[in-house]
Amino acid sequence: MKSYDLHQREEFGRDHDYFRLIGQDNFCRYRPVEQLRIRIHREDTFFDIFARACAAKTAGCRSTISIPPGTHSLAITALENLTDPWAGAIEFVEESDQRLADVIGHSQCDRIRYADPARVPLRIRRTVADSGLYIADRPVLKQGRIELLWYVSEQSLSVNYHRYGNLGARASEGRSEPP
């Protein structure tokens, strides 16, 4: 979790202007996935479950923990108890693969995070293929610089602040060499 927090603060939680051009700002920034579904599988480990929930919270996502009917786990119970103060940032729902497919088909989530590609049912893959929704299904990693990529969308902005070469109020602004 320390790695998730560190990389959120240093990379994903702030704007970057790598070029620092005079007359133009070029920001690269990351926005949290707004509606993230974290799909639980009976073979998920304690780490798989907790790390995805913590990464989503760190990135600023609103998460829904999607639990198949009949799945009982001490990890899920512990996660529910420990995340109670998160309030609306996390929700727990019990839903079948068909119900999850309906959620996807009706565009009620922006991304799904599984812990392993072998745990994604064919029904879900077919629904996703029709909807264009992205499934993040790679193994869960401890390294925040990589794992947090599944929970954000990259955004690039270019802002021109010059007018025919006139820099206006920012004319005296110094620009340093890129790192």
Left (φ > 0), alpha (ψ -120 to 50) or beta: where does 168 sit? left
For residue range 51-68, list pLDDT tens digits in order.
999 999 999 999 999 999
Domain membership flag for residue 23:
no
Rounded CA-CA distance 118/179 in Å is 41
Q: Do residues 75 and 50 touch, judged by C-beta distance below 8 A? A: yes
CATH number at residue 82: 3.40.605.10
Which residue in this structure is represented by tokens 């639980």? 40
Q: Using the predicted structure, report yes or no on whether residue 173 has a pLDDT greater than 90.
A: no
Domain membership flag for residue 77:
yes
Domain membership flag for residue 25:
no
At residue 156, the 3 state secondary structure works out as strand
**Whole-prediction pTM:** 0.85
Q: How many distinct structural domains can be found in the chain?
A: 1
Domain membership flag for residue 172:
no
Rounded to 10 degrees, the C-alpha dihedral 84/90/91/95 comes to: -130
The rounded percent of the chain whose pLDDT value lies above 70 is: 97
Predicted confidence band of residue 163 (pLDDT cuts 50, 70, 90): confident
